[in-house]
Chain A
């Protein structure tokens, strides 16, 4: 286990270093003048040049790279051209909202995926709807789902709010920045329920596609496990079907869905950019969206690195979970 974690840590450093380099090269390769765009269209040349010098963008490329690498090693990502603040601080302000949304969506996706996958195998009545869901759910992009959900649940039914994280003016913002958790820590059930209401639509929009993917893999995996000799033996011994499923078959079938969940979390983080824009969710997707419009490459790079690091961590956790679920897997 320790060796596995060590190897993974070194691998993660390599991946992140490669990301830093690629992102930096992209910054320098993209044509244009983001400094002028950031200081304003009518700013004088003197002001633009002064700003360029202040940001160190007039230095030779190797110097800029070394400076940038040094900043990243120290946990900073440089100053955002758009907000004028350290990108690290900006990400720190926006990241909790994304973590909450992504966590909630993955919870929905995993629970939903498990349900769909299991029902598709054990319930003959659900088999056909499940197949339809597998085809339909996989082909509907999250932004379209978001618009459909908004139209039905906000515009037509008025059940759920359209945008933002909460409507409560004095909602607690600390200590974690995760509103559901903070509201519980501050004993504010009103904020908890309000935050939950705001989470449902973007959460569902993000969760459906991964849920279908997880469900589909679980179904295949379960079918394969059910064909095994030891399952037949368990049935022959008279073990109730529920016990066979939950105590034996499911555990052995979880490896592939767990891998899929890890992959889907990465894809989900990509989908966050669009879904957060539609639901005005104040997370790093929205931050990235606005930064792209300003060609704020330091902000874009910072978000890329954080998401990249998150992806590495999640996949490591998935590997650990796989090993815990399936004793045949050794780390």
Chain B
């Protein structure tokens, strides 16, 4: 073949191949796309694991909630506890014994009956695996299964938050005993890492790290059949890509991380709907009282008042957050108890002190914490305080407790408690050894009030204890909640049934969605 002809043939073939690749879109879409029966969502990051006794993250909760169920849950939109697998429950007068009656005809996805012994095996596995969420059952003394539908938990000491742990997003879930028995050598950790063995409305069909997950409808589901037969979850770390895919109709919803600056575009787009739900996420400022410049509670208070919290929250969050009414996340305690007041005050004393602060925040896809830290810098500069915002990874922040003298001066974070009970907040952020007590704040009176509240079976008396803890902690100005943050969900306008629970952050009930 002459050279010229060979060149033309090669060029033509290359062009044809590229043209086919580019123009094959519609055909390919028709093959892979998914019918009306498929729900497409995206996660910003991979789930570390699908094991319900190890999983202790937020991204991925929608999957875990769809494939596993616990005894209790929170009713949509509020903090009221309702039965999930349990039909009813009773708590003994001494607060030590919890008796659960299971619903009728419960089954796992493979048809295995779900009874009290299966629940006990699941609870025992959580303790045996001994990972993050195992603390919820640390106070358990023993279990009893008098009959297949009755499950009894005996605690060592009263724990008024126990029911809330069972309703938590990370509560102990019912795991198929057949799977546990067949994989007993490693407590089924390898199996459950990427596969499901639950009783929820969906099962994990495919779990491909870095790419995504496919959930399919559980044909043996004991409850109401979900509308979508398949849920495709794509790992899409870039928020801009998620937004473009949503606008193109390739994604059904973005449940969190939507940049607040882009919300006006959503409101003007008839194809999209914006829904805002209350959450327990509470943006808080941790002030490092171990630093000389922040050692005095009066200085800490003056700094907070200099920030003008009300206008700061409005400027950063717009209508998607509000200033807290009390020391606890929204809905955990009567708002009239442990109230907070951030009215701007006299900050003139600050300017002469030569205070320099570094403000650390952890990254979030919406960029809101960075903006908050930037605005704090501006406002503090106005009163003569030199502040420098800096982004840090979570691991760095968790190291602060071991070296508070060299830690940040202020840490901006939006923690959320595991459950909707005041103890689940106070015990993690104020308690002397609380896991989210980053700067080792310690007030023995706060600890004592929290300890009293935990074992107080009379709800009113317990509320008083928690109110006292909140008031004492507020007066110390070391952990300052500044914003009740809403979960903002942007979805296709024709998507119905977007249900959200304040205690289940960034999560909508996939089984309740329909089109």
Q: Which residues of A contact B (CB under 8 A)?
A: 30-34, 36-45, 47, 50-51, 82-85, 90, 93-94, 97, 147, 150-151, 153-155, 158-165, 167-169, 190, 193-194, 196-197, 200, 277-280, 282-283, 286-287, 289-290, 292-295
Contacts and interface: CB of A to CB of B under 8 A. Distances in A.
A72 B180 CA distance: 34
A31 B20 CA distance: 52
Contacts of B395: 30, 32-34, 36-37, 294-295
Given A31-B399, A42-B418, A197-B21, A168 B31 contact: yes
B347 interface: no
Contact of B49 (A84, A158, A162, A194): A84
B131 A40 contact: yes
B435 A293 contact: no
A277 B237 contact: yes
B56 to A, nearest CB: 3
Interface stretch (B110-118, B207-215, B260-268, B460-468): B207-215
B57 A40 contact: yes
A280 B239 CA distance: 11
Given A44-B435, A45-B433, A293-B45, A155 B247 contact: yes
Interface in B112-136: 130-135
Interface stretch (B22-30, B348-356, B476-484): B22-30
Contacts of A162: 241, 244-245, 248, 250
Contacts of A278: 237-238, 240-241
B274 to A, nearest CB: 20
A295 B32 contact: no
Contact of A280 (B20, B28, B241): B241
Contacts, number: 189
B248 A155 contact: yes
A290 B45 contact: yes
Interface of B: 17-18, 20-25, 28-29, 31-33, 45-46, 48-49, 54, 56-57, 130-135, 138, 193, 208-212, 214, 234-238, 240-241, 244-245, 247-248, 250, 363, 393-399, 401-403, 406, 415, 418, 428, 433, 435-436
Contact of A295 (B132, B193, B237, B393): B393
A146 to B, nearest CB: 9
B393 A32 contact: yes
B32 A168 contact: yes
B422 to A, nearest CB: 15
B29 to A, nearest CB: 8
B392 to A, nearest CB: 8
A293 B241 contact: no
Nearest to A36: B398
Nearest to A290: B45
Contacts of A44: 134-135, 138, 435
Given A39-B132, A167-B32, A289-B237, A193 B20 contact: yes
Given A44-B138, A155-B247, A167 B210 contact: no
Given A33-B395, A43-B131, A293-B393, A193 B56 contact: no
Contacts of B211: 164-165, 280, 282
Contact of B396 (A31, A169, A196, A200): A31
Contacts of A31: 396, 399, 403, 406
A21 B57 CA distance: 32
A292 B210 CA distance: 14
A168 B57 CA distance: 30
B398 A158 contact: no
Given A164-B211, A292-B393, A295-B394, A154 B22 contact: no
Given A155-B247, A280-B234, A287-B210, 14 more contacts: A40-B133, A42-B418, A43-B132, A43-B135, A150-B241, A150-B244, A160-B22, A160-B25, A163-B241, A194-B32, A197-B21, A282-B209, A290-B45, A290-B237
5 contacts: A42-B132, A84-B193, A163-B245, A168-B28, A295-B395
Contacts of A30: 395-396
A159 B131 contact: no
Contacts of A283: 210
Nearest to A190: B31
Contacts of B20: 193
B397 A32 contact: yes
B24 A194 contact: yes
- Residue with the greatest number of chain B CB neighbours at <10 A, chosen from A30, A42, A164, A283: A42
A84 B48 contact: yes
Contact of B234 (A84, A150, A154, A163): A163
Given A43-B56, A44-B138, A279 B241 contact: yes
Contacts of B237: 277-278, 280, 286, 289-290
Given A82-B48, A162-B241, A167-B32, A42 B435 contact: yes
A193 to B, nearest CB: 6
Nearest to B22: A159
Contacts of A290: 45-46, 237
A39 B212 CA distance: 22
A32 B32 contact: no
A294 B394 contact: yes
Contact of A47 (B28, B131, B393, B394): B131
Nearest to B232: A169
